[in-house]
Amino acid sequence: MISDNCGLNLLHPIAGFSLGTTCAAIKTPGRRDLVIMKLAKGSKVAALFTQNAFCAAPVLVAKRALQSGCTRYLVVNTGNANAGTGERGVQHAELTCQEIAKLTGVDVSDVMPFSTGVIGEYLPIDRLLKAIPGALSHLDEDGWSEAANGIMTTDTRPKGASVKLTIPTSTKTDDIDGPTRAVNGTLTLTGIAKGSGMIKPDMATMLSFIATDATVDAELLHRALRLAAEKSFNRITVDGDTSTNDALVFAATGCGDVIIDEGNFELFATHLEALCTELAQACVRDGEGATKFVSIVTTGAASQLEAKATAYTVAESPLVKTALGASDPNWGRILAAVGRAPIPNLDISKVSVSLNGTAIVEGGARALGYTEQAGQAAMQPTDIHIVIDLGRGESSETVWTTDLGHEYVRINAEYRT
């Protein structure tokens, strides 16, 4: 675990979005492990889910519920993934939604369930259902911090990010049928995430919930989320494993004074991407057993796809990751990873690599001025910046990852004990 500056006390409330957390004792007695989120009527919701073929039961139910277009409640349990549980798991997810619908008076299709934890075990459904009234009774627009704690599994700390910004918008004049006029309005974006291991999202994240008080139509909301995820959550890897339960949810309550349209969409999407990047990087910094936060930048690629594939090949090399964990500047492992990346007709004589600003490879071979002492010094900081220049184009990509050490093995070996 690497320290960062994420401050949960700075999570701004979102008008029309409240959160309640309670103890269901799903895995650990006394643990606050059930979170319910309530959305104002008329809110719009976009979501991205895991691409893992063995997706969890709540993912199946949430995808179906999303199609209703009328989401009012999100429910999240930790301690049990409800994955690999077959039809019984689907029934448990549906029962959870039915209980919330019964207690709140909404339609069952207005409730989306999410789970995280151990795969292959059945939910203790009776305990979960019994705890739902407690979570509902604690609903509060200031409930973000407790919710961030409530969705954790092997995380060592909660993760959240929040921003208030002034943005050009349009609004109606006093005459309801009159023209719109341009003004500046203030909107808020707040999000939380959980994730520490089994992290290599694919059009999603581990679990993350983001909300804004802006008015955003469904198409723009989904477009903004997909763009933001592609440059943030889809650029991280801790261990190369994509979870069965990944979900990224973005809700717009429309309770603020900003309307998002094509005129201000780009600015809105930029700030959403920045918030998603902060959350995604927080998950990497909290990677299981991590001691290094590593940025791997590929430049000079022939395409974005090539740049991304190269960065991921290096980021997920066990030999590179263990060298990083040992602070060993074993740059030959980086070259070997680049050499097996899916790059057609790579001219190795044009490849250069630097490590925290120290040139270690030039022209495909050891840099003339490189010394082992310089490499050792470059490996000491917690934050490591590796730049790989392929020398064959103008495209670049960045992937964020961690080192790999004994603590990662211990955490995962003891996960179910």
* CATH code, 176: 3.60.70.12
Q: Quick one: pLDDT at residue 374?
A: 95
Q: Assess whether 276 and 298 both reside in one domain.
A: no
347 lies in some domain: yes
Residue 231 is predicted with a pLDDT of 93
Report yes or no on 384 lying in a domain: yes
Say which amino acid occupies 117.
Answer: G
How far is residue 59 from each of residues 42, 48, 241, 386, measured CA to CA in Å?
23, 10, 17, 36
Q: Which two tokens stand for residue 163?
A: 């921003």
1 belongs to a structural domain: no
Residue 183: phi, psi to the nearest 5? Answer: -140, 175
Q: Are residues 152 and 225 in the same domain?
A: yes
Last residue of a domain, one of 241, 264, 285: 285
Q: Which of 285, 317, 345 is the last residue of a domain?
A: 285
β pairing state of 44-49 and 73-80: unpaired
Q: Is residue 257 part of a domain?
A: yes
In a domain, 12, yes or no: yes
Residues 125 and 181 in one domain: yes
Domain co-membership, 342 together with 274: no
> Cβ atoms within 10 A of the Cβ of 246, count?
29
Task: Decide the pairing of beta strands 159-172 and 17-23.
Answer: unpaired
**Ordered mean pLDDT values, 10 residues apiece, the chain (417 residues):** 54 98 94 97 95 90 94 97 96 98 98 93 97 98 97 88 93 51 87 73 69 98 96 82 80 97 97 96 83 95 97 94 91 96 97 97 96 94 97 97 80 65
Give the separation between CA 35 and CA 78, rounded to whole angstroms. Answer: 9
Residue 186 lies in a domain: yes
**Number of domains forming the structure of the chain:** 2
What is the rounded distance in angstroms from the CA atom of residue 262 to the CA atom of residue 212?
17
Residues 194, 141 share a domain = yes
Q: Does 235 share its domain with 334?
A: no
CA distance 163 to 14: 11
Contact by Cβ (8 Å): 399, 301 = no
At 261, which amino acid appears?
D
Q: Do residues 242 and 354 both lie within one domain?
A: no
Q: Does residue 2 fall inside a structural domain?
A: no
Give the residue carrying structure tokens 């082992």. 372
Report the residue count for the chain. 417
Please report the pLDDT score of residue 179 as a whole number: 47
Cα–Cα distance for residue pair 300/392, rounded to 1 Å: 5
- Please tell me the predicted confidence (pLDDT) of residue 412: 67
Cα 58 to chain centroid distance, Å, stands at: 18
> What pLDDT, on the 0 to 100 scale, is given for residue 378?
95
CA dihedral of residues 215, 207, 231, 310 (deg, nearest 10): -170
45 & 151 share domain? yes
For the stretch 257-272, what's the b/e string if a residue is b when 16 or more beta carbons lie within 10 angstroms of its beta carbon?
ebbbeeebeeebbebb
Tokens read off for 161: 């990010």
Q: Minimal CA–CA distance to 408: which of 284, 247, 281? A: 284
Residues whose CB falls within 8 Å of the CB of residue 206, separated by 6 or more in sequence, listed in order: 116, 193, 194, 195, 196, 198, 199, 243, 245, 246, 283
268 and 159 in one domain?
Answer: yes
Q: 3-class SS at 361?
A: strand
pLDDT at 359: 97
Name the residue range of residue 394's domain. 293-413
* The residue to which tokens 């991407």 are assigned: 273
What is the reported pLDDT for 301? Answer: 98
Asked which of 285, 306, 326 is the last residue of a domain, the reply is: 285
241 and 171 share one domain? yes
CATH number at residue 371: 3.10.20.340
Q: Are strands 395-402 and 358-362 parallel, antiparallel or unpaired?
A: unpaired
Q: Report the predicted TM-score, pTM, of the whole model to 2 decimal places.
A: 0.90
Tell whether 251 and 309 lie within a shared domain.
no
Crossing angle of helices 218-230 and 265-285, in 10° steps, is: 40
DSSP secondary structure letters along 202-226: SSS-SEEEEEESSB--HHHHHHHHH
Domain assignment of residue 3, yes or no: no
- Statement to judge: residues 138 and 159 lie in one domain: yes
Q: Which residues contact 177 (CB under 8 A, 6 or more apart)?
A: none
Strand partners, 20: 36
Q: Which residues pair with 38 in a beta bridge?
A: 18, 73
Residues with a known catalytic role: 205
